[in-house]
Amino acid sequence: MRMPRRRWGRAGLWALAVGGMTWLGVSTTATVLAPLKTAFAATGARPAGFSLDAWEALPGGRGGPPGLGAVVQTTLARLYHGHPPAGVVPVRRGGAGWASVTATVAAAGLTTRVIAERLSDGRTYLVVDRSLAGGWTGLPESLAVVSRVLAPWGGHVFLNLTLEGRRRAGRSGPEAVARRALAAVGARPVSDLVRPDLVSLAGYTPLIGASDRLHGRRVDLQAAIVPDPGGEWQVYVGTPLITITY
């Protein structure tokens, strides 16, 4: 099973593979929420969290690319209207050909990570990840906030959104439930992965309006189910691929 990754190779995300597709990102807005929630509702799962991943490539400018620490501090200030939480200490990492600065803020179950990363060729990327455990409270606001803080940098903002849930195993198997999720928004599966420990279906629905391509076909919706030994299922519905921050 090949794991889709960002082309610059940043660790910190895992994605459920859909047949060797490389995730290049899809520009989305809050308008994806309605079809995504419709697809999720068809699984019969209860909301258990969400994962939002947004990123953009930063322009170099005449004076060269901005410092990574400065990018993170500026983004934190935008996130918290000039008053970032006290005690947030950015963490610097680096290796052969790359360097990054990460700041993490966790409060009331909501975790926000701001990451600035530079590759050996000078390309600089800014990432804002938000994840919440326990439900979807504040999801529309998080979408709006992330878009707002990334927009001033002037690059193209890419968003990836996954709704997470749980449900008890029922008469219908995981594959049938995943197919119901896609069918609820008129999406036909174009790729599937069916194993005892994982069912993953990817398809396309015109209701979302932005997509990647898989074997020449458009893909903008993925539903996956991970059965637990205790009889519960972890349910994920995302666009264009399911991407979870850890």
Domains (range + CATH), the chain: 13-245 (3.30.2030.10)
202: pLDDT strictly greater than 80: yes
Return the structure tokens found at 121: 């060729």
72: pLDDT strictly greater than 90: yes
Distance CA 242, CA 221 (A): 8
181: pLDDT strictly greater than 60: yes
pLDDT score for 64: 52
Q: Which pLDDT band, with edges at 50, 70 and 90, does 183 fall under?
A: very high
pLDDT score for 28: 46
CA neighbor of 2 nearest in space, from 18, 205, 123, 12: 18
pTM comes to 0.82
Which H helix or E strand runs over 236? Answer: strand 232-239
pLDDT score for 214: 66
Q: Which pLDDT band, with edges at 50, 70 and 90, does 182 fall under?
A: very high
Return the structure tokens found at 27: 């520009």
pLDDT score for 104: 96
243: pLDDT strictly greater than 60: yes
Question: What single letter denotes the amino acid at residue 144?
Answer: A
The residue-averaged pLDDT of 214-236 equals 87
pLDDT score for 120: 87
